[in-house]
Every structure is written in C-alpha cells, then in structure tokens.
Amino acid sequence: MQRIIGKMREKAKELLEAGTVDAVLGWKKGDFAYDPTPAFFYSTDELDMLAYDGFCGSNLSKYLVEYGKEKGKVLVFLKPCDTYSLNQLVSEHRVDRENVYVVGVGCDGMLDVQKLRDKGIAGIEEIEEAGEDLRIHTLYGLKTCPRDEALLKKCQSCKGKEHKLFDDRIGAEESRDIANEDRFAEVAELEKMSPEERFAFWRAALSSCIRCNACREACPVCSCHTCIFDNARSGVDAKANASEFEENLFHIIRAFHVAGRCSDCGECSRVCPQAIPLHLLNRKMIKDIQSFYGAFQAGDSADQCSPLLSYSPDDIEPDAFDRWKGVM
Amino acid sequence: MLKIGVFVCWCGSNIAGTVDVKAVVEAVKAEPGVVFSTDYQYMCSEGGQSAIRQAIKEYELGGVVICACSPRMHETTFRKAAEAAGLNPYMVEIANIREHCSWIHKDKEEATEKAVVLCRAAIAKLNLNKPLFPGESGVVKRALVIGGGIAGIQTALDIADAGYEVDIVEKSPTIGGRMAQLDKTFPTLDCAACILTPKMVEAAAHEKIRLFTYSEVEEVSGYVGSFRVKIRQKARSVNRELCNGCGECIVKCPSKTASNAFDEGLSKRSAIYIPFAQAVPNLPVIDREACLRFQTGKCGLCEIACSAKAIDYEQEDETITEEYGAIVLATGYRPMSLDRYDEFQYSQSPDVLTSLEFERILNASGPTGGSLLRLSNGEKPKSIVFIQCVGSRSDDGCGKSYCSKICCMYTAKQAMLVKDKYPDIDVTVFYIDVRTPGKNFDEFYRRAAEAYGVRYVKGMVGKVAEWKGRLQVQAVDLLEDKQLLIDADMVVLAAAIEPDPGARKIGAMLAVNMDQNDFFTEAHPKLRPVESPTAGVFLSGMCQGPKDIPETVAQAGAAAVKVLGLLSKDKLVGNPCVAISDETLCNGCSSCEALCPYDAITFEEKQVMVQGRRETRRVAMVNETMCQGCGACTVACPSGAMDLKGFTNRQIMAEVDAICR
C-alpha cells in the first residue's frame, strides 16, 4: 500500500492545517526499509516522515489511550483489523470516540521481515510492493518473493477488509484479497494433545519468556493504568518473580484478563522477541467463548457487551462444561 | 502482629472421629500470629463459646480461627461470642473441617493433614482481616407476591392480615391458578372451587391487597428492604372501572374457536372471555390473537353489546413502578409436555388424556359438563386405565428424575371419583410405587383399592395402541410376572409436573438460583426452606419443588412469616462484606457495571491523585446498600481495582498460598 502514502500525507496536512486535529498518529520511517515505527506528528513539516508500507503491522489503536489524557483531537490511520481494537477501547471508555478522527487505510497484508531473512534475503535496502510479488533491492542485487510467503502470522488469517469504524477512508477498496487460514486450526491441534503433552508444550514455549513485557505493551486491551504485575499491593508482582513456573503464569493470567476483550489482533505474538505463540492462548479463549455463547467478535461494535460480562436466560447451563471436558 | 487464637472443635465424633484434633492444635501452634490453640468437644455449646471469650481476654487476641462446621451453621454464633468479648465480629474466621473434611474422608491421617491445611489457610486469611462495620438501610413496608395461585393467595392473605400492604402480580386474567382447575381435592374430596374461591374473593376484597392480574413483572432492581419493580399490566381491551361483569360481550362474540386454556384446550372459548365463572376479578379480556376486530378490523359486536361502554380497543399496556421491602415467588407449575411419550398415543387419540385434562372432564364446569364421556365418540367408557409416573422418576432422558409427589394421590382420587359415580366402570392403575406419606393419605389410597375396587397393578405400561375403536394397553404385572393386554376406553396419564417456564426469567431478574430441574433453590434445604439465597426474596408453593395443597398452604404461611419478620423491622443491618473500588487503579472500563446483578455499581468522572499528579478519571463507585458481596466484579476487574471487603484478593491469595505451601 505504498501507493496511498501521498493521499495519506495530503489528508493529514489538510486536517492539521484546518485545525480539525491537533496531532496525527501514524507510522514514521525507520532506519531501514522494514522498520517504520508508530509516531505522533504535530506539524505539517514533519509529515514527509509519515510512512505506510508492508511493515506497518503495528496496531496504533493502543496509543490513543495515553494520548486521550492530553485532551486533543487526533487523526489516526487504522488498518481494517486495527479498527476492532479501537472499537473495544471505545466500548471500555478508554478512548473517547469524539477525540479521534479515524482514517481507515487499505491493507494488502502486512509483512514479516524475518520470513524474508529465512529465505536468505539479506542486506535489504528497499522493497517495492506491487501486485503479488515483492521486489527487494538488496546489497547483493534484486530479489523477489511472493507477498503471501512473507505475511505476518496474524495476516494469514485476516479478519477482512472492512473498517469497523472510520471517519474517512483511503485506499480501502483497493485492499488485496488474502487466502484466509482457519485461525483455530493450531488451537485444535493443541486440544488434541493430552493434558501432559499440552503442559509440556506450554512450559517449553513460556520458559523462553524474558519478561520484556512487549506483549503487554503492544496489546490494545492490556492498557490498565496500573498493571497488577506492576502493582506492589496486588501481591502478584512479587510472585511472578519468585519462580520460573510462577513466571509462566504471567501469560496465562494475561490471557484471562483479555478474555472476551481480545480482538485477536495478533500483536502479542508479532512483538514477542522470543517468538512465543502467545496468540494461541487468546484464540483458545475466543474459540471456547464462541462454542459456549455463539459467534462473538470483540471490537465488532463499540456498543456490544462481551458474553463474559452479560447474562441471558438462554446462556448455557453449567452441565455444558461437563460435556466440554470431552474436548479439553 | 495480630494475636490469633485457634479453636478446634470435635463436634462429638463428627470431626474427632476422622480428624486427630489434638494433632491439629499442635500443628498450627507455629503458624504466624498464633499465640493460643486448643480443642473442645462442642465449640458451639455455651462452654465452647465461653472458652473463646475467656481466651480473647486472657491472651488479648486480635482474631480467632474456629475449626468446626460450615460457616453457614455457626458463623453467626462465633461472631457473637467474639463480639461479646470485645472483638470485631469480622475478626473471626471459620475453617470448615467438617463438611469440607471429616465427613468426606475415611482415612484419619489424610483427614488430619487436610484439617491442618484448612486451618492454616484460615490463619493466613485472618492475618489480613480488618475490622468491618455494617451499614444500615430502611425497609419499604410492602410486599410483592409473584403468582396468584393458592400459594400466592395464601401468602398475600397472611401478610395482609398482619396489617401490611401486599400486591399480587398474576400473569393470567384471573387469580386462582391450578387449584381452580381441579374438581375435588384429596384426601377429603372436598370441592376445590368451594374451598378456593372464598380465598380468592377475600384476597380481592382485602383492603391491604392489590391485584395485578393479566400482568407481568418486567424488571426488578434494588435490594432487600427496597426493591423497585416494574410491573406491566397487559391491555385487557376492557376498561376495568366501567365494566360491570355482565358478560353480554361474551355472549355476542362471534369468534368462538379459541382454545380454552382453563379446560386444558379441551374446549373452545370466545375471543372476549372470562376464564371461568368464579374468576377474580370478574372482568373479561379480549384475546387479540383470536378477536376478529383486531385481526381483520371488521366486527365490534362486543362494543355494541356493552351497555357500560367498557370495551376499549385502543387500550395499551400500562407499566407501573412500585417499591417493595420483600418479594415472594409463587410462580407455580404445569404438567410437562408429553410430546416425547408417543408410545401412549397421547397426541394421536382424544381418549388419552393427562390427569389435569381428566380433572376437567370430571368437573361440572368442564368441557363435558361433568359427564364422564369419551372425547372420541361421546360414549360412556367401560374401562379406564391410569398410568402413573409418566415422565416422573425417569431415566429415559425424556422425563424428570424426580418424583412429582402429587400423582399417586390424585390418581387414587380420580379413580375413586370414577368408581363412586360409575361402579360398573373397570378402573386399573399402573404404578411403580404407591407413595402415600401424608395425613390420612394411605387410608385414602387403601379405600380406593379396597372399598372401591380400583385395580392396582405394579408395573409400567409399555404401549397404548388404538385397536378396533378402543385402546389396547400393553403392560406388565411385575408381581404376577406376566404380560397384560387390557382393553380400555380411556387412558389417563399422570404427567410429571414441572416449574412454570416463566419462573426462569423472574429467577434471573432476582438472582435466585434454580436447580437442575428449574425449581428455585432454597437458602438451606432443611433450615431455610422458604428463603431464597437472595436476601428479601422468599419461596412459596410448587416453584420450590413438588408439593400438594396442604403443604403449599403451609409453606405459603411460612413464607408470609418470613416476610413479616422482615417488614416489621425499621432498619436492616447490612453486610459489611461489600465491594470497594480503588479509584487509583480503576480503568473506568465498566466491566463490573455490566455484570453486577444488583446494579450496585455506577461510574463518575472524578479527580484522582496518581503519583502526586491530579487526573480526571472515570471511576467505579459501589453503592454499599445495593451490593450483596457476590464478588463477580472483583473477578471481572482486570486491574484488580475492585475488591471485596472481608474476602480481598490478597486474602484469597494468602489462603491459596497457605494451602499450596
């Protein structure tokens, strides 16, 4: 979607100049072709640094929580899947919808530089995104790679091209179709394991955690003013540091805290430097919620209530859990 | 550090038989804070309580742990004992080493180890306890009874006779309920209407009772002593002030094909109708589904016929909101649907009836005017077969696991009534067991079998088949061990009873639990049988479990007494174990607000000091009188801002840690 950056800059300039917004939240060019980072832009002269390409996988919704405290209106560029997170934050009163001007931007599926590296593509200088193939200019010459082979994990099961909320859209109708994998396939594999095998799987996966907290910092709904793991009075922070096993529970507790709120944006796994498949914990929760309460997608709308927070006389009865044990 | 005393109860051999209480006393001596520990045969006795009081004074205890039975039994006892010795009653913790330990274990070593662990957990929690002080709230001196059957009527009368106002909300157009449909009542065979209708009239005429018939409870908020209830009075299309009950409209109504629910669908009624002759109020209602005026716009004969000008086609539902101090659930029952019992030909043959339908046939105001006739051909039957336990005591997956309790007796009654009037009719009853525990019940059943010659056969019917215009009943006689083929003209099925399906919605509104069969759960099966687990909500009649009329009336009176006990108080002492929100941690996400069953949580924008900085934040506020301390909010709160006094997250974590140590 490099092709729409011009329109994005124009839009940002227009709204900043008109005073409609006080800031612009987007992605800023990085040191390399593949590392644009989230950034606020406060004046029109900064806008040449605004970037939008296949490496803008980060979900900007979360940054609006902190920004909201400064009480100004902000333009934010959101990909279709990012709008689910914003809806969720609006429903939780964490972001004031009135303070945000949402520009939905089209998306061709975001890229994972590691997948290019794994193909032996090194020394990347510039990447041209056009059509189904990536043209990668490297220190060692031009390389090509099919875009679908370099997609981020989270983009392999795309939630679709629809922006769930927006004030304006740029390039939305040009979004590319992505072959959609069953997002619960890996969860189903885990469910097939015996409890012992599954325990061993997660112990192995979580043991590589270095508690950098990147997953928490990137997660849109993990936006508590004070996380219980940072709160000395909770009694939980010290426990997590007490033993390796207790530390593993950080992720389990996090999964419970975001259950029914997680829109499955996949940021937790994307930002994990240890490549722990954290999204699987959330997807298991989502799968169970759907099997108990029917179709539910957190962030589908800002007005809906999570089935975990609501009661209806038609809700499943406790005996359903006995039947459910069969699939555990 | 808190000085803690530990008291381990023997409960005779209830605990001491399985738990080495002396070992528990020794094992917890080294726990943090424990300065004194002892055991006693019955802690709940005066001697035990006095030991607690003395130790509190002698050792200057700041808190006590009682290792004994469930806190549901004696928590109040021990709190009072501690309070008498000058301790805050919430500095008492109970370790349940009876129900949770001695009663469920056989191995003494294991049970002792577990008792020690449970005691340790209580000590760990107590170390984090803080004195708590309950607040007070007022009591609205009015009760609401939901359901206008005999249970609801009796409860309302008992409350009203004591001088308190009471409203009855009944969903159908008349009060009277199931009992009004019955012909005679066992074991005295007095006429149901003759004993019920005076009570209906008394309720209607009582100056303290208001009837809301054809009405439903739509919404409930509030708490014990102060419930706010929204009641929807459905449009009758008849002005109740103007109508004089002459019934001319019913005579003139040309639409006479609606199914008559009062006759269990065995007869037809007009679109404008009064359910039965003695209905209270004597006020017709237009069934808009059946009314030609409402369905086609053409008609209006009732309006022309009405000299009082009471017909009002434009009438709309009215909603009123009223406050109550207490609520009684008397939502009643219905016979279960027999759709899944095709083997008895119920849906195929008009001569196969449920017992309630048969009751209507026997009744002089019923579809046959009280003549015992086959509905297929209008002839008098020569042979009638009663089948008991259809859907009751069932393990076939189609029925109910429980005994419906009333069927043995009403079947004997119906069999006897048939035999009394028509001694020439052969009457056979198939039963699994005949259960007659009740005053004069067994004598009644024996009279049916011995004096009236009703043939009782132990065994279940496998199949009922239509055969040459009659019904062939294929069954087995278990005592004779032989197969039977009986030709019958009518078959009467004692269908299992089930709670009225409307109860579920009301239960959800009031946060009253239901058991697996949808009967309301009482607060304690033996000791609090008419109280629901929700404070201020009481249970009357069949909605709590199967029972006959005498039991229903007794329970109705008991529920009334509990209501009166509540309404006669001027102030209620609250439960101090309520939720509290830490505004510095609250995200303002409203998760707790969404799931609070008591609407006790609201949000407001507030200046909050965070790390020396003033910030305006959206934070949760708990209404302490509305909060029932269920703790749902504390579980939902992601940041841990919500906590429950007396059961804080830290206290629970400390218990878990103590158990896992």
- A93 closest CB neighbour out of B508, B618, B640: B618
User: How confident is the model over B291-304, as pLDDT tens digits?
Assistant: 999 999 999 999 99
Same domain, B390 and B470: yes
The CATH number of the domain holding residue B543 is 3.50.50.60
* Statement: residue A119 has pLDDT above 80: yes
* C-alpha distance across the termini of chain A, in Å: 42
Same domain, B456 and B395: yes
> Using the beta-carbon criterion (under 8 Å), do B650 and A235 form an inter-chain contact?
yes
Same domain, B487 and B520: no
How high is the pLDDT of residue A322? Answer: 66
Closest-CA distance of chain A to residue B590, Å: 6
Closest-CA distance of chain A to residue B594, Å: 6
Using a CB–CB cut-off of 8 Å, the residues of B that contact A are 504-505, 508, 516, 584-591, 594-595, 597, 603, 610, 615, 617-618, 636, 638-640, 649-650, 653-654
Chain B residues with CB inside 8 Å of A309's CB?
591, 594-595, 636
Amino acid at B646: G
Same domain, B42 and B162: no
User: How confident is the model over B37-89, as pLDDT tens digits?
Assistant: 999 999 999 999 999 999 999 999 999 999 999 998 899 999 999 999 999 99
Q: Which of B31, B30, B76, B38 is nearest to B56 (CA)?
A: B38
Task: Give the ipTM.
Answer: 0.90
Largest CA distance in chain B: 95
Chain A residues with CB inside 8 Å of B219's CB?
none
* C-alpha distance across the termini of chain B, in Å: 21
Smallest CA–CA distance from B643 into chain A, residue: A234
Report yes or no: B581 and B642 within 8 Å, Cβ to Cβ.
Answer: yes
Q: Which of B555, B492, B533 is nearest to B629 (CA)?
A: B533
For the question of whether the overall pTM of this predicted structure is more than 0.95, the answer is no
- Position B572 in a domain: no
Within 10 A of B137 (CB to CB), how many other CB atoms are there? 16
Q: Would you state the structure tokens that stand for residue A191, as one six-digit string? A: 């469910």
- Judged by average pLDDT, the poorest of B231-240, B474-483, B605-614 is B605-614
Which of A93, A239, A282, A308 should one mutate to test binding to chain B, selecting the residue with the greatest count of B CBs within 10 A?
A93
How high is the pLDDT of residue B654? Answer: 94
- Position A180 in a domain: no
Closest-CA distance of chain B to residue A236, Å: 9
- Position B375 in a domain: yes
Closest-CA distance of chain A to residue B198, Å: 37
Same domain, B266 and B345: no
> Using the beta-carbon criterion (under 8 Å), do A311 and B615 form an inter-chain contact?
no
- Position B120 in a domain: yes
* Statement: residue B113 has pLDDT above 60: yes
Pair type for strands B63-68 and B92-96: parallel
* Statement: residue A328 has pLDDT above 60: no
- A–B CB contacts, 8 A cutoff, strictly below: 68
Chain B residues with CB inside 8 Å of A313's CB?
504-505, 508
Judging by beta carbons within 10 Å of its beta carbon (0-12, 13-18, 19+), is residue B332 exposed, middle or buried? buried
Band the pLDDT of A217: cuts 50, 70, 90. Answer: very high
Same domain, B109 and B178: no
User: How confident is the model over A64-73, as pLDDT tens digits?
Assistant: 998 876 668 9
DSSP at A23: E
Number of structural domains chain A divides into: 2
Same domain, A167 and A291: no
Which of A224, A230, A239, A303 should one mutate to test binding to chain B, selecting the residue with the greatest count of B CBs within 10 A?
A224
Please check whether residue A224 touches B, CB under 8 A. yes
Cα(A319)–Cα(A11) distance, rounded to whole angstroms?
55
Same domain, A234 and A168: no
User: B507-512, long-range: CB within 8 Å, 24+ apart, which pairs?
Assistant: B507/B329, B508/A311, B508/A313, B509/B217, B509/B219, B509/B220, B510/B220, B510/B327, B510/B329, B510/B534, B510/B537, B511/B597, B511/B598, B511/B628, B511/B630, B512/B329, B512/B537
> Using the beta-carbon criterion (under 8 Å), do B594 and A310 form an inter-chain contact?
yes
Contacts of B412 (CB under 8 A, 6+ apart): B186, B429, B434, B436, B444, B445, B448, B449, B454
Please check whether residue A301 touches B, CB under 8 A. no
- Position A306 in a domain: yes
User: How confident is the model over A253-293, as pLDDT tens digits?
Assistant: 999 999 999 999 999 999 999 999 999 999 999 999 999 89
Closest-CA distance of chain A to residue B585, Å: 6
Which of A89, A90, A92 should one mutate to test binding to chain B, selecting the residue with the greatest count of B CBs within 10 A?
A92
> Using the beta-carbon criterion (under 8 Å), do A258 and B590 form an inter-chain contact?
no
- Position B132 in a domain: no
Same domain, A235 and A271: yes
Percentage of chain A exceeding pLDDT 70: 95
Pair type for strands A23-28 and A124-130: unpaired
Same domain, A246 and A166: no
Contacts of B567 (CB under 8 A, 6+ apart): B139, B141, B142, B143, B159, B164, B325, B326
Question: Once rounded to an integer, what is the mean pLDDT over residues B98-122?
Answer: 97
* Statement: residue A242 has pLDDT above 50: yes
- Position B259 in a domain: yes
- A93 closest CB neighbour out of B504, B588, B610: B588
Band the pLDDT of A246: cuts 50, 70, 90. Answer: confident
- Position A100 in a domain: yes
- Position B51 in a domain: yes
Which of B521, B581, B587 should one mutate to test binding to chain A, selecting the residue with the greatest count of A CBs within 10 A?
B587
Please check whether residue A242 touches B, CB under 8 A. no
* Statement: residue A134 has pLDDT above 60: yes
Same domain, B550 and B605: no
Same domain, B160 and B200: yes
H/E run at residue B202: helix B192-205
Same domain, A220 and A316: yes
- Position A88 in a domain: yes
Same domain, B381 and B421: yes
Same domain, A205 and A303: yes
* Statement: residue A136 has pLDDT above 90: yes
User: How confident is the model over B516-530, as pLDDT tens digits?
Assistant: 999 999 998 898 999
Question: Once rounded to an integer, what is the mean pLDDT over residues A186-204?
Answer: 95
How high is the pLDDT of residue A69? Answer: 66
Structural domain boundaries enclosing A316: 185-327
- A226 closest CB neighbour out of B594, B595, B639: B639
Please list the residues that pair with B259 across neighbouring strands. B268
Band the pLDDT of A179: cuts 50, 70, 90. Answer: confident
- B504 closest CB neighbour out of A225, A234, A313: A313
Closest-CA distance of chain A to residue B583, Å: 10
> Using the beta-carbon criterion (under 8 Å), do A228 and B639 form an inter-chain contact?
yes
Same domain, A168 and A282: no
- Position B312 in a domain: no
- B636 closest CB neighbour out of A309, A317, A319: A309
- Position B135 in a domain: no
- Judged by average pLDDT, the poorest of A167-171, B144-148, B243-247, B394-398 is B394-398
Boundary-marking domain end, from B520, B537, B567: B567
Which of A99, A216, A221, A225 should one mutate to test binding to chain B, selecting the residue with the greatest count of B CBs within 10 A?
A225
- Position A54 in a domain: yes
Number of structural domains chain B divides into: 5
How high is the pLDDT of residue A324? Answer: 57
In the stretch 57-86 of chain A, residues with CB closer than 8 A to chain B read 69
The CATH number of the domain holding residue B40 is 3.40.50.960
> Using the beta-carbon criterion (under 8 Å), do B508 and A313 form an inter-chain contact?
yes
Question: Once rounded to an integer, what is the mean pLDDT over residues A17-37?
Answer: 94
Cα(B441)–Cα(B447) distance, rounded to whole angstroms?
10
Cα(B336)–Cα(B407) distance, rounded to whole angstroms?
13
Same domain, B482 and B404: yes
> Using the beta-carbon criterion (under 8 Å), do B585 and A225 form an inter-chain contact?
yes
Boundary-marking domain end, from A146, A174, A202: A174
User: How confident is the model over B640-653, as pLDDT tens digits?
Assistant: 999 999 999 999 99
Cα(A250)–Cα(A237) distance, rounded to whole angstroms?
9
- Position A133 in a domain: no
Q: What angle do CA A56, A58, A64 make, to 5 degrees?
A: 120
Report yes or no: B35 and B64 within 8 Å, Cβ to Cβ.
Answer: no
Same domain, B161 and B43: no
- Position A134 in a domain: no
CA quadruple B147, B150, B152, B153: dihedral sign:
positive
Chain A residues with CB inside 8 Å of B610's CB?
225
Same domain, B297 and B373: no
Same domain, A192 and A62: no
Smallest CA–CA distance from A305 into chain B, residue: B594
Structural domain boundaries enclosing B268: 248-305
In sequence order, which ranges of B127-191 are alpha helices (DSSP H)?
A: 150-161
- Position A129 in a domain: no
Chain B residues with CB inside 8 Å of A306's CB?
591, 594
